[in-house]
Every structure is written in C-alpha cells, then in structure tokens.
Structure 1
Amino acid sequence: MSFSRITGLAASTIHTDTSGLREGQVQMPTFDGTIPAYYAAPADVPAPPVVLVIQEIFGLHEHIRDVCRRYAQAGYLAVAVELYQRQGDAGQYTDTAALIRDIVAKVPDEQVLADLDASADWAATQGGDITRLGVTGFCWGGRLTWMYAAHSDRCKAGVAWYGKLATGHGPLQSRHPVDVAAQLRAPVLGLYGGKDSSIPLEDVRRMEAALAEGGPIAQQSRLVVYPKSGHAFYADYRPSYVAQDAQDAWAKCLAWFDQYLV
C-alpha cells in the first residue's frame, strides 16, 4: 500500500513545525546527474552535524521528510534522497509486492551507497559538518544503514530502524548486515520489534553474535528489541505505529547521535 493511500488516516501522524528551520526540496548532484532530495536544518546553528536519512520501502514521502524536520529541530542537518529515482516512482504503487518486484529489487546497493556519499558531499556545501556524519534509515533503509556504516570511512554513527539483517529485497543484494558486521567503520544502534515477522528474532541473535565477534567498533554497536512491537513501529502514519516504543526508540536514537556526533 502506498503512502498516499494511507497518510491522513491515522490520528497519530506527526507534523513537525518548520519554524526555526531552513528546509526544502532540491536537485542534488550525484555520480550520474542529479536526483531529488529533501533537507532540513536549524536556521541559526553554524556547522551542524549531518544525518543522512534513508527512506523506507515506499520512497521519499512526507513521513521521511517529517523525520528530517525532527532531526533538524534536534540540531542536525538532515538530508534524504529519492533513492529509487532511476528505477521508478514508488508513489504510483498501491501493492507492496509489485513495488518490490518492479522497483525495489532493481536498486543495487552500490548505487545507493554512491548516492549517500553524494548526499554527504552536498551537505558539506550547505554548511553541514561532515566530520560529524551519521546515517539512519527505516525498513529498507534500516538494512542500508548497516551497509553504509561498513562502507563509509566518514560515517561516525548509525541508527538502523527494523532493517533486515540476513536477507534483502532482491538478487542484487548479495551481502547483508550479518556479512559486514565485523567491517563496521561506525557503531550502529539497531531498533527492532519482537513481533516483526519479516525479521525473526533468530536474525537479531545472529547479528548480535556477529557483532560480538567483530572488532572494537562492531562491539560498540547494540540492538534493542521492543517485545510488543512489530515491523514499522515508528511509522506514525501507519497502523503499525506503537507510540510508547516509538518515543522511547527516538530518545535512544538522539542519545546515540549525541554521543557520537556532538
């Protein structure tokens, strides 16, 4: 189901104030041209730390833009890129299986990682301090948060929200967080639902074991499981939203970034 079909139906949907922010849509340069992006930053904070926000499976929609504003209100320059731009428009789909088949499965990790690197470069041109660079993502983007933390030597911390750990969304994704746990270049906080049928607790335990067997950075990472929540418990525009766990996870997320980026 697309975001456009379900947004506005949930009374829990959060709308973050833009007062005190600079924000908007941009065409961001990347390795093969430009792609749409959204950013938000505090208007009066010089050289804020940067958080790259990776979309969930439905693309760069209003919930992800609002998350950027939440980070901006917390003192970060946040930027999110339309990472499906070359493959198609996720907003045109009402069937998740078709969306995965037609678009998501055709998005290679290498393309995403390059676009995220370009996002960091762009943030630096907007006054962001990329010596204090973090990454976060939800669902599809949660998996890529782990992958980016293993890829980038500039990333200082990550927060992965219910991202797959041992599988992906298509044949182009041949490696997964459990495969790169020992190669992390930045510590990652993983936030997971104990009732998430798409990410079994066995995968969480496998990831914990892989992190424990890694080096010092891997061992700084940790996973938090909310026993009563399922997948997408932070998505306030969806029926899956669990307010108490979402609020607790958000507080842990900000504390994690404050520890490593501020």
Structure 2
Amino acid sequence: MTKEFTRRKFIATATLATGFALAVQPISAKTITTDAKGLIVGAVKIPVADGELPAYRAQPATGSNFPIVLVIQEIFGVHEHIQDVCRRFAKLGYVAIAPELFIRQGDVSKLSSIDQIRPIVAKVPDAQVMSDLDATVNWAVRSAKGNAERLGITGFCWGGRMTWLYAAHRPQVKAGVAWYGRLVGDATPVTPKHPIDIAASLKVPVLGLYGGKDTGIPLETVQQMQARLKTGQSQSEIIVYPDAPHAFFADYRPSYREREAIEGWQRLQAWFKRQGV
C-alpha cells in the first residue's frame, strides 16, 4: 500500500461519530442534553498533513474573537457526550472543538467492547496528537473566529493525560483542566513522556480533577504529581474528590457523580476565567 493511497483512504473514510459510542451502551437516564439554540454546531474538517481530521465544533451564532477551548475525548472517541460538552462551552461564549484523534488508527465508536478499543488507542502517538491539536487551533482562528491568545484545553480520561501534555507542548495555552487523566507510565516510542515527567517544567496553569476512589489511577500517583508540581512555577493544582470514582463527570455512565461533576464544572469555569480564557 503506497503512502498516497493511505492518505486518500484517510481522507475518504474520516467521519465523525453520531450518537453515543457502541461500547458505552446502555445510556444512563441522567444524561445531560444541551440544545443548539443560538449556536453553530456540527461536524467540520481540520486540515492536517496527511488529510483532513473530522471534528465537532460548537460556537455562538453571533459575535467574533471567541476564546477557544479544545475538548479532548475519552477512550470512546468524539461521541455524543463529548459533543454535548462542546455545546455547553459554546453556551458560555466559547468556540469549542473536539477533534477525532484516533481516526487514523480506527473508528472506536463502532466497537462494542473496551477491550477492542484499547489496542487502537495504544497505537496513537503523542506527537501525532500534539500536531493535530496545533492544526485544530489554527483552524479555529482561521475558520471559526477564534482568538488564539485566549486558548484553553480540557480533557477526560485519555484526554486528561493529553491536557497535561499539550499544556507543556504549547506554552501559549492560557489554562488547562485535566479530568482524571493518567499521570505516570512507561516511556515508549508512542508515549515518550507522561504528565509526571513535565510537571516541574510546566509553565501553563493546569487544574487536575481526580477521584479518590479511581481504581485506575492510584491516589499515590496523584500525590506524586502534586508534589512534583510544587517544585515548578505553573501554579497548577490538583483537586481530589475523596468519594468519586473514575469518570465521575460522564453523565451518560453509571460512574457519574452529580455533586462532584457540578462542582468540577464550576471549578473549570472559574479556573478559565481567572487565567483569561
């Protein structure tokens, strides 16, 4: 298979998911649905080196010079929950964009098991993600009336880890909020660094929101990250909700914890506002 054919195939098959990812069924009755009244919403294409990246965009229907928020997906891709989060941001006056960052490796929205999803996600290089997010910011400025000087980022689970890493990659980011993203791990060609490795040198203020009962992210790793952040100058913070499990913000899943999710969302807004996003 030639590189050119691979590129044509990527362009032709790159589409945005509709509805919820198959692996997250059944959907909770507590799922939040944000309407699109007063907004411009829908799928867009982000030009990247090897084709076009599908993304979901939400922004106010009127105005310009909007602050930009990159919304980084969970392991399940840019499905309805992530799209709804974008609409929530747009209601607050942001242009919010969630690029589909796994699309070259596979369409995770059509897979019925997390065990099928993990091998695909494991192939996604951090460097590729950083480049795709740079391209997304460029698109937001060029095509969505975004202001790159008021740039924020937030992500969930897999996207929480990427929030820390992108804040280190692009010091022009004004603020980040990382929801229960993994902090430590082995260095590999695909994942050469982890948040713990960049904590001391981080310049961008990142707020971490973590659950004390997250079985996938040991509390001792959160404490290690807190200690490492104190040696730097980013003024980053980590809040731990003692009784919250992993994915406590995911209102479509049984892990959802309404009190912690609402408080976390309020903290996010205050953090962004304080940092000028």
CA distance in 1, matches of 2:198, 2:228: 9
How many residue pairs were aligned?
Answer: 257
Measure, in 1, the Cα distance between the counterparts of 2:154 and 2:75: 14
- Say whether residues 1:186 and 2:204 are aligned partners: yes
Counterpart residue type for residue 151 of structure 2 = L
- Label 1:160 to 1:45 Cα distance change in 2 as closer, same or farther (>3 A): same
Whose radius of gyration is greater, 1 or 2? 2
Contact 1:166–1:178 (8 Å) recurs in 2: yes
RMSD: 1.6
Q: Which residue of 2 aligns with 1:195?
A: 213
Give unpaired runs (5+ residues) of structure 1: none
The answer on 1:248 being equivalent to 2:263 is: yes
For the 8 Å contact 1:152–1:185, the answer to whether it is kept is no
Q: 2:45 is matched with which residue?
A: 27
AA matched with 2:191: Q
- Which residue in 1 is equivalent to 2:122? 105
- Partner of residue 228 from structure 1, selected from 219, 239, 243: 243
Deviation at 1:171, TM superposition (A): 6.2
Q: TM-score, normalised by structure 2?
A: 0.89
User: What corresponds to 2:140 in structure 1?
Assistant: 123
d(CA) in 2 for partners of 1:64, 1:197:
23
Shift of 1:116: 0.4
Residue 161 of structure 1 pairs with residue 179 of structure 2: yes
Q: TM-score, normalised by structure 1?
A: 0.94
1:209 lines up with 2:227 in the alignment: yes
Aligned pairs for 1:2-41 (under 5 A) are 3-7=21-25, 9-41=27-59
Q: Deviations over 1:69-120 (max 9, x none)?
A: 011111111000000111001012222122112x111000000000000010
Distance 1:58 1:92 in 2: 9
Q: 1:20-169, aligned counterparts within 5 Å?
A: 20-101=38-119, 103-125=120-142, 126-167=144-185
Q: Aligned partners of 1:55, 1:170: CA distance in 2, in Å?
A: 22
| Residues 116, 39 of structure 1: alpha-carbon distance in 2 compared, 3 angstrom cutoff | same
- CA deviation profile, 1:141-173 (whole Å, cap 9, x unmatched): 000000000000321110000000012797621
CA distance in 2, matches of 1:159, 1:66: 17
Matched letter for residue 191 of structure 1: L
Alpha-carbon distance in 2 for matches of 1:27, 1:259: 31
The AA in structure 1 aligned to 2:125 is P
Partners of 1:105 and 1:171 within 8 A in 2: no
User: CA, structure 1 residues 154+64, in 2 after alignment: closer, same or farther (shift >3 Å)?
Assistant: same
Q: For the Cα contact (< 8 Å) 1:45–1:75, is it kept in 2?
A: no
* Contact kept? 1:31, 1:114, Cα under 8 Å: no
CA distance in 2, matches of 1:245, 1:170: 34
- Aligned to 1:153, what secondary structure does the other structure show? coil
Distance 1:193 1:128, change over 3 A: same
Are 1:155 and 1:185, in contact at CA under 8 Å, matched by a contact in 2? no
- Mark the CA change 1:121 to 1:61 in structure 2 (over 3 Å): closer, same or farther: same
